[in-house]
A and B are shown apart, each in its own frame.
Chain A
Amino acid sequence: MIYIALLVVGMLGAGIAACLLRDLLAAVVAAAAVSLILSGFFYLLQAPDVAMAEAAIGAGLTTAIFVIAIRKTGRHEE
């Protein structure tokens, strides 16, 4: 139970950080952390199919696509 509470707190903190950070690269890293903890959650709830989809998409592809988009636009939010 306490482990699940820890995971929930971590995921909430990372999600709020992803919204509030002005440095978009750091926000992307926070979003990657959200995806990681979410995948762990699906795993704990014994849904390995969904956990695997979240892992395959969230580990490499979304981070890289966000990073490329930041390269094309700008790193800091006004």
Chain B
Amino acid sequence: MRAFIGFVALSLIAVGLALALYHIPFGQDRMDVARDYLARSVRDTGAPNVVTGIVVNYRALDTLGEVTVLFSASLGVGMLMTWRSPGGGRPLPGASLIVRRGAGFLFPFILLFGGYIFVHGHLTPGGGFQGGAVIASAFLLLYLGIPGYLLARRPLAAIESLTGITFVAIGIIGLAVGGYFLNNFLPKGSVFSLFSAGVIPILYMVIGLKVGAELAGVVANMIGGGEE
């Protein structure tokens, strides 16, 4: 019965979506704002990656909101799962030698790769969120490969707080210098070089560290949570 109701609801949603989308021609831009962004973005922001220009320059306030949402999600997981030894005291069977050595060997390279992604966020695809997820995956690899591994909680919380403060501080400096919050007050530099695009690389490094610390905290809380 429940499955039947779910099926009916799903087909109603599908019909509604089909009716709504039927009149929109596929593959044409319907909005002037996209064309405007494409034409102006590189000149305004100095970042050749237009997506980065929009996410960290035009819509940087929304990005601050996103980071805050992620922070509250991490906080929620931390409140639900208490911080205790993995498996709730149950002894975990160890991983084999290959997995242990492989995890230990690959961990620094994955960290380095995550750093590469968010430092080069304004030149190549990717950015703070992707790099943060890669860094959190590196810590997840340590948890999977080495049973009983515990992430130090205090530096994690310190990184989260400091990066959050830095983000807001950059915004306020922009407000003081240029007249609006998160103004791009640094010189733009030459396009396609690493040190260019003003505050965008700094903001993306801040976002990457913050997202990485938050997601690693989620994983640590999930694994280390009690079993009651």
Interface residues of A (CB under 8 A from B): 48-49, 51-53, 56-57, 59-61, 64-65, 68-69, 72
Contact = CB atoms under 8 A, between A and B. Distances in A.
A53 B136 contact: no
A25 to B, nearest CB: 16
A59 B117 CA distance: 16
For chain B, which range describes its interface: under 10, 10 to 19, 20 to 34, or 35 or more residues? 20 to 34
A52 B117 CA distance: 10
Contact of A68 (B51, B141, B215, B223): B223
Contact of A56 (B133, B223, B225): B133
B217 interface: no
A48 B140 contact: no
Contacts of A51: 125
Given A52-B125, A72-B227, A57 B133 contact: yes
Interface string B26-50: 0000000000000000000000010
Contacts of B51: 49
B115 interface: no
Given A60-B140, A61-B133, A49 B126 contact: yes
A1 to B, nearest CB: 14
B67 interface: no
B133 A53 contact: yes
A14 B51 CA distance: 30
